Amino acid sequence: MHRKKILVVDDEKLLRWSIRQKLSEWDLEVTEAETGDEALQHFQLDTPDLVILDMNLPDMKGSEILKTIKTDNPELPVIIITAYGSIDDAVNAMRLGAYNFLTKPIDYLKLQNAINNAFEALSLKKEVARLKEKVKKSFDLSQIVAKSESMLNILSMTKTIARSETSIILLQGDSGTGKDLLAQAIHHLSRRSLGPYLAINCSAIPENLLESELFGYEKGAFTDAKQRKQGLVEIAHKGTLLLDEISTLSLPLQAKLLRFLETQTFKRVGGLKDIEVDIRVIAATNQDLDLISQSGEFRRDLFFRLNVCPIFIPPLRERVDDVLPLTQHFIQEYNIKFRKDIRGLNRKAEKIMLDYTWPGNVLELKNALERAMIFEEGGRIGTEYLPIWKARPSTETKTTGETSIDSASLSLKDMEKQLLIKALQEAHGNKSQAARMLKVTRDTLRYKIKKYDLE
């Protein structure tokens, strides 16, 4: 531990000298300042661990210096020295955030106690802050609502897999079923919980950047590579990396990922050296990887490599027992957020929630409740604020069958565009879901959205 640095601010040379003697005896490092100005200048160079400040200085009011010091360093303990009898000064100083005060002539035993107590209080404060931070970061499994049998099974399986040594996990499930949430849970339940947790959405980053994002690059690897950069795979060492929307990975990158998964080594872009890391990869997707790997869009061997520990989260409509517990969970969450006191749903609203098919899954349910809670004043949520009242459960055939377009007046192109718009609307803008409705891949959908300028 470093020796604690004490700044002594007093215009009496003799007093400074005798304080210095004592502090040195107590193994403290001392710097001195004769005036307020000198004291503040000292702060430009170095921040002391504690300040002993005389309230009576020739150039500045003690209270002013104290204010300045405390504004910039709110946690820094300042012990005040006042002339005997100047109670007002002392009270004022304490109000301004001084840690303690002593009257002249100085009782050194009191000074020593005051210094020790100040340091102890400070380290306690730091410890509390550290623990608070830790609690905030630690993941509480009770955040995951699971009442249905299938979800309970998934949770217990997740716990086992999380604590195992497996370095590859595949998370499959429709949009909004809770894949992100489960990935975080896996990290926090694993021995890697103290290591980093990083997540990247493979579809959100242009293909040409994704490789260097994942694996990093060496200086000079390409024109803009002025400095070596570490990729996520490297930064996630000893931790977990979530590769979200894995199905959108390009074929060349799929090959690179496969090589990495098989060897746990990789090369930075433009690098020659193999770098070894210890990470767990969680691949998440809302696509049926088995299916798309049969059609050649996704490498079959990569699918098999990823599929060692698969976890499949069923859509919400297949676990109706979770609907009301989830509802209650989000109502509580939004009660806190919106400072409301909503107790639940009324009967009719409950029935609607249970009958609805939730194509957008938990995310859709959460959003529906958020909206309702913004409008509902108190008591129980009724049907009037639930948007799903009007939204009819949609099935893929229905979507296309229902198209109420006068086809005679439209070109094929127009038809396609209308269909796209309709699917996107029904899927509330969720592209994966719209793609599924239209039975095309996400890439095709993305291409068509661009083509018709529907973004």
**Residue ranges in contact with ligand ATP by CB under 6 A:** 144-146, 173, 175-181, 286, 326, 329, 362-363, 366
Q: Which CB atom, from 100 or from 158, has the smaller least distance to ligand ATP?
A: 158
Any residues with CB less than 8 A from the CB of 342 and at least 6 apart, and which?
A: 331, 334, 335, 373, 376, 378, 379, 380, 381
Q: Which CB atom, from 148 or from 285, has the smaller least distance to Mg ion?
A: 285
The residues of the shown chain that bind Mg ion, judged by CB under 5 A, are 179-180
Contact present, 414 and 384 (Cβ < 8 Å): no
CB of 195 to ligand ATP, least distance (A): 21
CB of 199 to Mg ion, least distance (A): 8
Q: How far apart are CA 299 and CA 254, in angstroms?
A: 7
CB of 305 to ligand ATP, least distance (A): 21
Binding partner selected for residue 62 from ligand ATP, Mg ion, none, CB under the kind-specific 5 to 8 Å limit = none
CB of 171 to Mg ion, least distance (A): 9
Q: Which CB atom, from 326 or from 373, has the smaller least distance to ligand ATP?
A: 326
Any residues with CB less than 8 A from the CB of 280 and at least 6 apart, and which?
A: 166, 167, 168, 169, 186, 187, 190, 192, 239, 240, 241
CB of 41 to Mg ion, least distance (A): 53
Binding partner selected for residue 144 from Mg ion, ligand ATP, none, CB under the kind-specific 5 to 8 Å limit = ligand ATP
Q: Which CB atom, from 146 or from 210, has the smaller least distance to ligand ATP?
A: 146
Contact present, 354 and 324 (Cβ < 8 Å): yes
Q: Which CB atom, from 142 or from 404, has the smaller least distance to ligand ATP?
A: 142
CB of 19 to ligand ATP, least distance (A): 57
Q: How far apart are CA 294 and CA 303, in angstroms?
A: 10
DSSP of 187-218? HHHSTTTTS-EEEEEGGGS-HHHHHHHHHEE-
Binding partner selected for residue 249 from ligand ATP, Mg ion, none, CB under the kind-specific 5 to 8 Å limit = none
Q: Which CB atom, from 180 or from 350, has the smaller least distance to Mg ion?
A: 180
Any residues with CB less than 8 A from the CB of 431 and at least 6 apart, and which?
A: 424, 442, 445, 446, 449
Residue closest to Mg ion, measured at CB: 180
**Cα dihedral 270, 276, 278, 280 sign:** positive
